[in-house]
Structure 1
């Protein structure tokens, strides 16, 4: 076993660490991660609003049934859900601007103008606008306050998670065009006497024209087939999204994240840029089902990993922190006590680097094994309906059991499962902590 771990450690240092470091510093992946980070506050608030207007108090067969809530939602739900529609419902707008802003800054271009360029590119491909006649219909008048005449209508079907892949691809292409034209001095430069904000905005004139020339024929051709570009791209990625909502896919994500952490790299930060479009797309599907009163379909959605796997942070290290706080070794006991409170809020750097877990072959076994066990148990619990599926986003610093309760629309089973997994992780980590104690004693 020791020989295997030595070989694995050497392989990690020689091959995985350089590759992971390059991925962590890759400009497009960094921009992708930043785009979702910038959008996250809006998505969390929007999810919370959706949760409030869909609380499990409307089923007459349930002991939680509340007539006052049913009456309140009947009167006001249509208005109160609006913040959800302009946050989660248009998330691709936020993400496209964020990607453009981040990638432009990394290329030493103007971030604001780059963000607007990517937003323009996304709207060009994903939000067809037309004028439609408005009949003198009472429902139309009540909703739009328009009594007849013509009204501009934008197709918003692909502004939510359905447009994420289009937003990502389009943003990358737009900024690369911007960078190329700026490098080749194919942009309009105004005299130094012109205010900087105006000068920077005029730089975009030629990139905008270039994007129109490139995109318009593609748009026309795709629309002639009866589709829009986001639909075409979503159909292309459909097999990947479908395959991602499976236990093997979840375990693969966990394996990559924790091997990177073992090498001393922030595994979640490296992987999150890749998996965010998938888990947010799945979350949007679940939220649409919740709104419609249908069965919630997706398991790997939103904060599934935060609620059931990363309990205390990567490695489910809250259990490790508690086990270390009961250690007979002064060093481990001090680190455990120091790391328990941050661990409640999923901050585990004191444990990761204080124990340490990094490059520690003894603790690496449960550090990888506990999340795999947690994920497997949670997967089947959700799959079989013992606990609810994720329908809402909560901040990643929310303690795991509380996050499980909120994210699943107050599924008590999810809360109990998450608490149980913390306890299980403590019992799994404890014998490895004792082995580690002995190894430290031998070293001293």
Structure 2
């Protein structure tokens, strides 16, 4: 039965996942979201001081200094998280320009400008409304960047440019080449904006909000989150890194983090559990599928090869990296480990989501760097109960992996025994006595 399932996956699902991973547009989005990691961490750090007065009291020099300088302390958050969509548009445009071998400065300029035409609105006093410069504008920034670069490429292909003599310096020539392209790109986005505002009576980013609302909203459902973890483990089981899903999941989790941070700053209740910090600290606790139990039992295995793999995989697992055990055991493409990894592991991965959903654990406002198990969960939530949740994940993982690890150990010992019996002691002694030096 497993052979048929593996054949089905290799025939239909694996090629699709590989195609997604090689897609230049999804790749550009993934790279852009990875590049946002420092901004997420720094922006999260900038909000920590706001929490201190509630922890140590407001009537002391430290709290009073924080309150007086709150506007300065929050600047990294404002210009980081608050303008993330702008950076994403620029980075996506950059990577697409590299992939298509186009003029990078020109593509980045058009990508950012196209996004801003769709997203920026003016306030009554003549200022700029920054609502969609942050994470709320992520999806429209992706669209703007991709559409602008594709228009740029189409214009170059159709030679809608101004060619200057070879004697003209290159930087001047490229500036003139951009004039027709700029007119076409800007005109395209202006038409979209006019249609949305005058006919649909809404800003373009809201169109994406309406279209993607079911997808975005579903990720705050623990059932949907558990299904996501199953899908990630299924991909990894067949050797495909679950990062292929990040172009879809990362913008949503990042947007939820920003909304949580804004709610925290305003003193309101946090509403989203699906954030990067939560997903890393609980969803990927000791690695995708919570495989620490297998590492634990391999460390005490009677099979020498498994014992070595377990000891090698221990330290990486404590920092959320489980590729050593996935490919060393192996878990990947091993029918013996399908149930604990693909079926049970995702349920254990979702413990944090369920705890936050029912209010047993605070929701995350912080995306900590990789600081190791237990500490990462606490920093993501600033809730001591995160240690209990991680502890439950650790214990349950050790329990559920026990019978499968023991069965693997028995098979490995049988294989080792056959290897030893392949050559008798007399034959081995005879081989040792032979002079086989050349």
User: What TM-score does the superposition give when structure 2 sets the normalisation length?
Assistant: 0.88
**Match of 2:47, SS?**
helix
Structure 1 segment 11-410 matched on structure 2, within 5 A: 11-55=8-52, 57-58=53-54, 65=57, 67-68=59-60, 69-129=62-122, 132=125, 153-224=127-198, 226-267=201-242, 269-395=243-369, 397-408=370-381, 410=382
Are residues 223 and 7 of structure 1, via their aligned partners in 2, closer, same or farther at CA, if it must alter by over 3 Å? same
Which deviates more from structure 2 when the two are superposed, residues 285-294 or residues 13-22? 13-22
**Aligned counterpart for 1:411 among listed residues 383, 401, 409:** 383
CA contact (8 A) 2:294 2:402 kept: yes
Aligned equivalents of 1:172, 1:45: Cα separation in 2: 27
| Range with bigger deviation, 204-213 or 381-390 | 204-213
CA contact (8 A) 1:250 1:375 kept: no
3-state SS, counterpart of residue 114 of structure 2: helix
Question: Structure 1 214/366 Cα, relative in aligned 2: closer, same or farther at 3 Å?
Answer: same
Comparing 232-241 with 90-99, greater Cα deviation is found at 232-241
* CA displacement, residues 237-259 of structure 1 (integer Å, 9 cap, x when unaligned): 22221122112221221122111
> Helix, strand or coil for the counterpart of 2:51?
coil
Distance 1:52 1:323 in 2: 42
Give the deviation of 1:207 after TM superposition. Answer: 2.5
What is the CA–CA distance in structure 1 between the aligned matches of 2:169 and 2:248, rounded to whole Å? 39
- Number of residue-to-residue matches in the alignment: 414
In 1, Cα distance between the equivalents of 2:172 and 2:319? 45
Q: Deviations over 1:391-431 (max 9, x none)?
A: 12223x332322211111x1111133123312321222222
Change in CA separation of 1:154 and 1:7 when aligned onto 2, cut-off 3 Å: same
Deviations 1:82-140 (A, max 9, x none): 110000111101111111111111112233432222111111111134783xxxxxxxx
TM-superposed deviation, 1:322: 2.4
5+ unaligned residues in a row in structure 2: which ranges?
419-438
Distance in 2 (alpha carbons) for counterparts of 1:378 and 1:16: 29
TM-score (norm 1): 0.87
**CA distance in structure 1 between the aligned counterparts of 2:181 and 2:123, rounded to whole angstroms:** 25
Which SS does the other structure have where 1:241 is aligned? helix
- Structure 1 or 2, whichever has the larger Rg, is 2
| RMSD of aligned residue pairs (Cα, Å) | 2.1
